A and B are shown apart, each in its own frame.
Chain A
């Protein structure tokens, strides 16, 4: 469904992504792992057109999207749950969700209301806060809002940038359960994460990014097993 082919991007004079290739098939959960400044967020930006690849191509459902504007790319069915949530703090929960559906030009109010209902079904806590300003909510609630907002555009591919960041372990489990449920309903998901263990626990496959290059790729099970890989690249013990 999504394919990156030897994508190279620059940050000023510095090469951020050094020719990475990866593939995501429809229906999968794929995780992209790596430490700080490994290029994870840059990959997301490259997919979404926020950063333009200098070389290489990004294709989505057979069509080349690298070089298109972000709005165009989003309209083709890709959505983002950004790092640090980045919900619109000065808007209410309901308004944030409605903004999520902005790219759906033809949607009727009835359809949008139904979708919002569905989101509230996934995240009951949001229903309680529908008129609350998003900026006043807790980190976990904001994460749910960010996910709900991303789902409002009915994406076929959902990009998630470090969903576990800043959340308590209990919340992390909750969030990743929901990610699995979203996937079960048919959405393909790319999760970018530093917390390798939890990401691999729900993913089908994984890539490991280091210094802008893919160093390992394998099935999630294999990655979880291989001790040396875990320690070398994911930098932690088995947990």
Chain B
């Protein structure tokens, strides 16, 4: 390698170049101004003159209150329709229509917020922290589906909940998950519920609303979201083609609360011992493993009405399954 020799001549030339550059730079329009604020206060229309009127500040309004109340009314109505369609009309077709409608409204139009699932955290926090309160609308959205579950079971899950609906529509070729595995995985949702409540009632600085943060489908509803959450949600949808509603069965913390309430339910989907054929077609048709030993397991029943559609008695005479 050739070393560079620093001679006197080159040093002089370099210095001259630097000096020339500096003079040029100071001559060129490179100087910033010395700025000082010209006014002490805002000039008012009289001072500005020329008939000037101070314009309004742009203020987009939040969603109006009556529209939020409408959400509660629609939620209640949709659950009512779900109960009526499943217990009285016994129509899979109409339940499917309700599913699509609720997915469109609560999912894609309302963009998944607010939902009873996420409201668990706010309710828990509002109960635990005297300084935190939630709007009446949120209280209603949290309690309504639980109330319905106390009397009729998980009508909210079937066709009303947008997270359930999006999974409901992708069920393609469901496999029956082995009972033991199904039960074991089902415990996960209680762990998640406990974790979510624990994190929500922590002091503000370390508080986290994990249910909302890890909501797998809200990104689809908003048509934008973090890449990892979109992948997570997409994964659930692909899995959901073969395992019916995996989020609802194994992770949904609100599903845990609903299934507790459903144990006390007065009515629900029932298989009548006197009229059944023991053919097992309904159990095969249920993608969620909610028919066990020819009996409906209400706390796992998602009110989808597939069993009616599969029942030979039902289609022939309209008799009960």
Partners in one complex: no
Q: Which residues of A contact B (CB under 8 A)?
A: none
Q: Which residues of B contact A (CB under 8 A)?
A: none
